[in-house]
Structure 1
């Protein structure tokens, strides 16, 4: 009987040890959003995920002993999932007051310039406008659903007349086609994404950036407050800072943005 008890105790110890090994591994699988948004995130020809945000997140998580589980989501849906705690990380977001309640913000120190793009012959129509409010009346603006392009854009969204000028789409690729076909007059977009996508679609010469700068704020990684506590976000920030300190971040940024 004693021998049987010893066997049972041994099995219990083995099971407990397995639990201690498996649980941390599961808890360090981090759900991260990605979407087709080159050069930040995209699939290569052989099906692998690549891009600036993909590499920065994977390198940072590796230093925490974690790995990313990627979920493909449009931006607006990703914000909903992050707020609900069904998503851990949302890379590439700007810091906005309405997001403070559900997200910790990890600074990546990578600037994200948002600009206004138009067809080449229409560039003169924008003229010397330096604010969205200075654009000619009646201009139809193409934007992505749920994306906030800068402080002025966020403020103008409170005005019904401005919202009426917006044509919204989930995919920026569709917006470029709409601009090329004259269905919108301008598209708001990240400079890096625009350069990449317009080249891929053969529109690099016909669609150009204006001088109207919407935002040049640094991008953040948003960490769900429901899914991860402040201490975890702090450790993620420290791991991210280490990437910058040892030159890893600069090498990754140069790979996708150039010198």
Structure 2
């Protein structure tokens, strides 16, 4: 309810600004986050934390920006960016159709994996074996992109009615934990907090069925609202955070040293 109220206030605050020129500078940024594992999650004290939040907070500190934050689903965030109701969002993948909406500032790399119930790993060795047996189903988060190989595979599964589309990663992982689906698409940052909390310990296997499809993700900054010079400042600040070790420390804070080393190679 609070996140919706914040977003509604954001929408009211920009009413009547349609057609305005992009702003120069980042005095106040309307940034939308979405809950997703180590990227953005509830801390023990009930507050929000995660890689994405720490990256944005550090960026704002270095550039003197004020952040007006909201939390929403990925689908509504993309709609807000497209309609000019948001200035920026986080951990987005660079796709040709998205370049019309915003400019990208990369800050990490990752790869999608398939999480299987452990007892299935002995019989399902690749995408082809999963596809060949109609009894198996998979869950994904609606609007997420997973790379060309996985998207081709998922399109075939969708045609057979074997893909569950969920609103967020928590709903997806709940289906997996309850046994409603046999597999989920996930990144290490998605499942790492659950492993650390032992909610899934010993119950799943990680299948790397598209090992060459590393994907770079980062900020998406509205073309409609923020000018190119300001985005260049964001990019310069992110590079500085990488060079001085700040990004690696952020990644390590929410995952581990090995994973942080992989994520920094963008």
User: TM-score, structure 2 length as denominator?
Assistant: 0.79
Query: For 1:171-226, what per-residue CA distance to the aligned partner results, in whole angstroms no more than 9, with x for missing partners?
Result: 22222232233321110011221121244362221122112237421212111111
Give the total of aligned pairs.
Answer: 231
Aligned to 1:238: 236
Q: Displacement, 1:142?
A: 0.3
| Deviating more after overlay: 209-218 vs 185-194 | 209-218
Within the candidate set 115, 118, 126, 2:116 is matched to 118
Within the candidate set 144, 151, 170, 1:173 is matched to 170
1:62-81 correspondence runs (5 A): 62-81=61-80
Q: Flag the 1:136–1:103 CA change in 2: closer, same or farther, 3 A.
A: same
Aligned to 1:136: 131
Q: Which has the larger radius of gyration?
A: 1
1:30-45 correspondence runs (5 A): 30-45=29-44
1:201-220 correspondence runs (5 A): 202-213=199-210, 215-220=213-218
Unaligned runs of 5+ in 2: 1-22, 258-266
Within the candidate set 190, 196, 206, 2:187 is matched to 190
Q: Displacement, 1:165?
A: 2.1
| Deviating more after overlay: 159-168 vs 217-226 | 159-168
Q: Flag the 1:86–1:157 CA change in 2: closer, same or farther, 3 A.
A: farther
Contact 1:126 1:210 survives alignment (8 Å): no
User: TM-score, structure 1 length as denominator?
Assistant: 0.81
Contact 1:61 1:236 survives alignment (8 Å): no
Look up the SS of the partner of 2:210 in the other structure: strand
Q: Displacement, 1:106?
A: 0.5
Q: Flag the 1:57–1:145 CA change in 2: closer, same or farther, 3 A.
A: same
Q: Provide the C-alpha distance between the structure 1 equivalents of 2:151 and 2:225, rounded to a whole number of angstroms.
A: 27
Look up the SS of the partner of 2:38 in the other structure: coil
Contact 1:117 1:187 survives alignment (8 Å): yes
| Deviating more after overlay: 210-219 vs 239-248 | 210-219
Q: Provide the C-alpha distance between the structure 1 equivalents of 2:197 and 2:37, rounded to a whole number of angstroms.
A: 10
The two structures, once aligned, show a CA RMSD in angstroms of: 2.3
Q: Flag the 1:182–1:160 CA change in 2: closer, same or farther, 3 A.
A: closer
Q: Flag the 1:169–1:161 CA change in 2: closer, same or farther, 3 A.
A: closer
Unaligned runs of 5+ in 1: 1-23
Q: Flag the 1:201–1:79 CA change in 2: closer, same or farther, 3 A.
A: farther
Q: Displacement, 1:85?
A: 1.4
